[in-house]
Amino acid sequence: MQTIHSIKTKEIIRKKLRKDATPQEIILWSRLRRGKLGYKFRRQHSIGKYIVDFYCSEKKLIIELDGWQHREEVNDGYDIERTKFLESLGYRVLRFWNNDVNKNIEGVVLKIEEFLKG
């Protein structure tokens, strides 16, 4: 059976995305890393042809941070296709705007915690 996780051909891209993380990704990662919420998260994890921002395998949870580029119609269709694919594999996708991380990180973390407890 072929794996769909951490595909070798995506390794260079994943490393670059981790190295060039957005300020919002850095802020949220500081709250998710090292099991701070009781679960292990990975960042810039590939699933199929997609690379997700944050991934918790135990809870089948994917967290995506969206910036201004996700407001474009072209990217909106891509995001819908991507979310449908991930949900078809049994994952739950939580999306937050970068602005939410900037202005209400506690609220973002609370929503993630609520999902993890559910």
**Which pLDDT band, with edges at 50, 70 and 90, does 1 fall under?**
very low
Q: What is the pLDDT of residues 37-93, one digit of tens each?
A: 999 999 999 999 999 999 999 999 999 999 865 455 556 688 889 999 999 999 999
Rounded to two decimals, what is the model's pTM? Answer: 0.89
- Give the whole-angstrom CA distance, residue 56 versus residue 15: 18
Q: Give me the helices (H) in 1-118, please.
A: 11-19, 23-32, 73-88, 98-117
Q: How confident is the model at residue 36 (pLDDT cuts 50, 70, 90)?
A: very high
Share of the chain above pLDDT 90, in %: 78
- Write down all domains in the chain, each with its CATH number in brackets: 8-117 (3.40.960.10)
- pLDDT for residue 98 is more than 90: yes
Predicted local confidence at residue 75, as pLDDT: 62
